[in-house]
């Protein structure tokens, strides 16, 4: 469903993603792990056609992301690392706008809006302005929005960062249910190792723009002779503190570019 070959992204003289290759079969839940600044978000942006790769190929359900970005985009739903809902709109209006942008017919929009808001348990709150929502509610709304146009692949960039354990487990329950009931392929990034271990069937660990390990959580622990995935992660990526992070403003610019259909 996702095929990536020798993907590279340079920002000026800096190589953020350095020759990444992997494939994700249909229906799989794939976790992309790495410390801050490793290149996770940059990779997600290239896979979702938001950023153009410096070199390399991305195939999304067989569509070349560089040559057929619109076809690729129709196959995918995205939850970005930073909140990207419209605070001035209600929950239902946020879904409606997304449905219109993706060309979902009006009757189907109404149906999907109700189904999805019930799915993420926000139906009772549908007419409230999003500004009043908690972080967890906004995440659930973003998840519902990402599913509005029935994407075959769901991309989640650190979907649970900063949320309490109850809300995190809630979010993953929704994602797993969506993968099961809608046969959605899921690509997520995280640096919560407990989540990665519980949710992902297959993992790749990225550091300094390169994949340093691949396999099931069990296989990665075996490779590094670690008792836990957390230990394996430290063994693979070292102890140094990583302060890098992309700003929310950068994320918003990428989002608005995506809506305008440009890159
Ligand atoms: N638009 C940009 N311009 C310059 N450097 C960037 C840009 N976006 C990301 N980077 C840099 O690329 C590296 C990887 O960033 P990112 O993909 O956001 O990492 P992660 O999501 O794994 O934390 C970081 O060093 C970051 O500072
Ligand atoms: Mg990131």
On whether the CB atoms of residues 157 and 178 are closer than 8 A, the answer is no
Q: Taking residues 3-20, what's their average pLDDT? A: 97
Distances (CA, A) of 30 to 64, 119, 199, 202, 254: 20, 22, 9, 5, 23
Residue 256 has pLDDT above 90, yes or no: no
171 CB under 6 A from ligand 1? no
Q: Give residue 164's pLDDT.
A: 87
Predicted confidence (pLDDT) per residue in 74-130, tens digit: 999 999 988 899 999 999 999 999 999 999 999 999 999 999 999 999 999 999 999
Strand partners, 205: 33, 213
Whether 130 is covered by a domain: the verdict is no
Ligand nearest to the CA of 244: 1
Structural domain includes residue 215: yes
State pTM to two decimals.
0.90
In a domain, 144, yes or no: no
pLDDT score for 200: 96
Ligand 1 pocket, mutate which of 16, 155, 248 (most atoms under 8 A from CB): 16
d(CA 48, CA 29): 16
Q: Give the separation between CA 192 and CA 197, rounded to whole angstroms.
A: 9
Q: Largest Cα–Cα distance in the chain?
A: 54
41 domain residue, yes or no: yes
CATH code for the domain in which residue 20 is found: 3.40.50.300
Euclidean distance between CA atoms 24 and 44, whole angstroms: 13
Q: Is 248 in the pocket of ligand 1 (CB under 6 A)?
A: no
Domain range spanning residue 206? 2-77+152-259
Residue 16 lies in a domain: yes
What's the total number of domains in the chain? 1
Q: pLDDT band for 255, please (50, 70, 90 cuts).
A: low
Asked if residue 104 is part of any domain, the answer here is: no
Predicted confidence (pLDDT) at residue 217 exceeds the cutoff of 70: yes
Q: What local confidence, expressed as pLDDT, does residue 263 receive?
A: 45
Distances (CA, A) of 37 to 165, 241, 257: 24, 11, 22
Q: Which ligand 1 atom sits closest to the C-alpha of 45? A: 17
Residue 61 lies in a domain: yes
The reply to whether 138 falls in a domain is no
């Amino acid at each position: 469903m996702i095929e990536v070959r020798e993907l590279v992204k340079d920002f000026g003289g800096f190589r953020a993603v350095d020759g990444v290759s992997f494939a994700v079969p249909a229906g799989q839940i794939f976790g992309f792990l790495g410390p801050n600044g490793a290149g996770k978000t940059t990779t997600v942006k290239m896979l979702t056609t938001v950023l153009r790769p410096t070199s390399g190929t991305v195939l999304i359900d067989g569509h070349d992301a560089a040559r057929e970005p619109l076809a690729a985009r129709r196959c995918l739903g995205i939850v970005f690392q930073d909140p990207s809902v419209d605070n001035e709109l209600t929950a239902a209006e946020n879904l409606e706008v997304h449905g219109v942008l993706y060309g979902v017919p009006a009757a189907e929009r109404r149906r999907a809006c109700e189904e999805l808001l019930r799915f993420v348990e926000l139906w009772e709150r549908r007419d409230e302005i999003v500004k009043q929502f908690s972080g967890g509610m906004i995440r659930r709304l973003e998840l519902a929005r990402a599913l509005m146009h029935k994407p075959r692949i769901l991309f989640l960039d650190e979907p649970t960062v900063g949320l309490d354990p109850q809300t995190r487990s809630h979010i993953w329950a929704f994602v797993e249910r969506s993968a099961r009931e809608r046969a959605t392929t899921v690509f997520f990034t995280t640096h919560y190792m407990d989540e990665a271990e519980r949710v992902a069937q297959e993992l790749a660990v990225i550091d300094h723009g390169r994949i340093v390990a691949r396999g099931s959580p069990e296989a990665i622990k075996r490779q590094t002779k670690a008792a836990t995935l957390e230990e394996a992660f430290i063994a693979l990526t070292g102890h140094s503190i990583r302060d890098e992070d992309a700003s929310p403003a950068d994320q918003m610019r990428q989002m608005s570019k995506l809506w305008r259909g440009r890159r």
